[in-house]
Amino acid sequence: MPIVRDGRIRPFAVVLPLILSIAGFVLAMIALFAGTGSQQQALEEYHLIAINMSNFGHDLVPTPTSSGSQPTATDDSFWDEIQDGLDDIGDDILDELSDISNDIADQLAQELGISQWYSLHIMNACEGDFAPNATSPGAWYNTTNCTAQAPGVHFNLTDVLQKEIDEGPLNINAADIPIPSKIQETIDYLNSFLLAVFVLYVLGAAFSGLSFLSCIVALTISRSGIGRGVIAINIVISALAMLTLAIGSAIATAISKKGVSEINDAGDEAGISAIEGTKFMIISWVAFAVMFVTMLFWSASCCFPRRSAGTTTAYREKGTRASTDSHRGLLGIFRRRR
């Protein structure tokens, strides 16, 4: 079945931009509301950035690096065998001590009373622990708490850590644990863009939804074909959705990559690292891509040649009509003069 008939787009062809508009709207809403509401746990991985605190303070726990003094070697083979046996026992003991030390270090964040990770979303911040534990392959984010949902959220990691350490089970003064100031400066940099990103994603979701509604209107009122007016309206709406999502995705990607790089550099010695929100970036750019394709569809539809079937038929009928009056036209004038 042809998509174009008599220079007009057939209504069934609008199914393509309709589906794409739905996809763009859903993806923009996921990016916007990830980490909030009843889907905090399910959508936690769709964060802008996550700060890994599971290695924080490992330098506070000493690890055995040497086995102490070595026995003096003798020429007696009997004593040599005893010495070898003692060396083996000593190595086993050191291995056990090293494992215990590593276990203590892995759980140090929990003993300090802080979470193993903190994440930043468009509308809130969350925290929690890695499950089943931070060192397990394929560990996932177990959310324990999130801030209230609000546009332009301001997350202060230093204040959160100090409060949780002060309230933790260990009698430790948070001021005695050095937290690089550069980390909070980087988070403040991220905070400064969150309101702008929020506005852009709200507009992107709104225009994507409006594009979906416009496609439904085009399907219902244009049964014979979709004219230029409807196409022009859809071009504008889809272009606005594409533009806002493109700018929002670009800003989110840029600040996330910069934040991860600076936090990793500043927190290396303190055991603090950052994780980029890869899934958030994927759905953001896919939302932009589907709205870009939607705009291309409507733009291409505007380029099809237009002609009116009714006007052409009327012209054809008028050209083949025979004259029934011999006194009409120039021939009639000459006849009357004669």
Strand order in the sheet with 49-52: 140-146, 125-131, 117-120, 49-52, 273-276
For residue 275, which of 136, 108, 140 has the smallest C-alpha distance?
140
Three-state SS for 107?
coil
User: pTM of the prediction?
Assistant: 0.74
- Selected residue with higher pLDDT from 139 and 308: 139
pLDDT in tens, 18-43: 999 999 999 999 999 998 877 778 88
User: Is the pLDDT score of 314 beyond 50?
Assistant: no
User: What's the whole-number mean pLDDT along residues 299-323?
Assistant: 53
What is the pLDDT, as a whole number, of residue 121? 94
Beta carbons of 258 and 12 less than 8 angstroms apart: no
pLDDT in tens, 194-236: 999 999 999 999 999 999 999 888 888 765 567 778 888 999 9
DSSP letter for each residue of 250-303: HHHHHHHHHHHHHHHHHTTTTT-EEEE-HHHHHHHHHHHHHHHHHHHHHHHHTT
What is the pLDDT, as a whole number, of residue 66? 40
What is the Cβ-side half-sphere exposure of residue 8, based on CA atoms within 13 angstroms? 17
Q: What is the mean pLDDT of the chain?
A: 77
Three-state SS for 306?
coil
Please state, in angstroms and rounded to a whole number, the distance separating the CA atoms of residues 232 and 11: 15
What is the pLDDT, as a whole number, of residue 268? 85
For residue 248, which of 279, 290, 287, 292 has the smallest C-alpha distance?
287
Check residue 226 and report its DSSP letter: B
Q: Quick count: other Cβ atoms within 10 Å of Cβ 224?
A: 11
User: Is the pLDDT score of 88 beyond 60?
Assistant: no
Check residue 174 and report its DSSP letter: G
What is the pLDDT, as a whole number, of residue 253? 96
Tokens for 242? 């594409």
Please state, in angstroms and rounded to a whole number, the distance separating the CA atoms of residues 231 and 293: 14
The set of residues, in sequence order, having a beta carbon less than 8 Å from that of 42 and lying 6+ positions away, is: none
Integer angstrom CA distances of residue 189 from 71, 242, 244, 264, 327 = 58, 26, 21, 15, 90
What is the pLDDT, as a whole number, of residue 104? 52
Tokens for 175? 């001021």
User: What's the whole-number mean pLDDT along residues 267-287?
Assistant: 92
Between the ranges 6-15, 109-118, 169-178, where is the mean pLDDT highest? 109-118
Name the residue with tokens 């007016």.
229
User: Is the pLDDT score of 291 beyond 80?
Assistant: yes
For residue 44, which of 137, 149, 104, 121 has the smallest C-alpha distance?
121
Name the residue with tokens 């989110």.
252
User: Is the pLDDT score of 71 beyond 50?
Assistant: no
pLDDT in tens, 255-274: 999 999 999 999 888 888 99
